Amino acid sequence: MALMITDQCINCDVCEPACPNQAIAPGVDFYVIDPARCTECVGHHDEPQCVQLCPVDCIPLNPEHVESAEALMAKYQRLQTQAGVASISTKAT
């Protein structure tokens, strides 16, 4: 599953820089997580970093985005490939 941030968020700013996939961004009222980029830190860390750092415990699993460990790893690999292509493109210009 991807994670989500609830309206309990106090906008403390600790989760966004901790996300290795840049899946967290400021929303209208509180931070939001892009489920297309969230791997629950699979491939990077043993535990989701945003969950570990959140002082108000407002980052549960998102029941609308159920994913297996294998699907999360495949997403991680896809994101890494995209990042590598983007890096190469940036260097070429």
- Name the band, by pLDDT with cuts 50, 70 and 90, for residue 16: very high
> Is position 10 within any domain?
no
Task: Find the CATH number of the domain harbouring 40.
Answer: 3.30.70.20
> Is position 4 within any domain?
no
What percent of the chain is predicted at pLDDT more than 90? 86
> Is position 2 within any domain?
no
Contact 19, 29 (CB under 8 A): no
**Burial degree of 31 (CB within 10 A; 0-12, 13-18, 19+):** buried
pTM: predicted TM-score of the whole model, two decimal places: 0.86
Q: What is the pLDDT of residue 21?
A: 96
> Is position 3 within any domain?
no
Contact 1, 38 (CB under 8 A): no
Q: Is the pLDDT of residue 88 over 70?
A: no
Average pLDDT over residues 18-37: 97
> Is position 70 within any domain?
yes
> Is position 6 within any domain?
no
CA distance 11 to 63: 22
> Is position 85 within any domain?
yes
- Name the band, by pLDDT with cuts 50, 70 and 90, for residue 72: very high
Q: Which one is predicted more confidently, 86 or 62?
A: 62
For CA atoms 61, 62, 66, 69, give the dihedral sign.
negative
The SS3 assignment for 50 reads helix
What are the φ/ψ torsions at residue 32 (nearest 5 degrees)?
-130, 155
Q: What is the pLDDT of residue 26?
A: 97
> Is position 84 within any domain?
yes
As given in the structure block, the two tokens for residue 52 are 């570990």
- What range does the domain containing 49 cover? 15-92
Quote the number of domains for the chain: 1
Average pLDDT over residues 71-88: 86
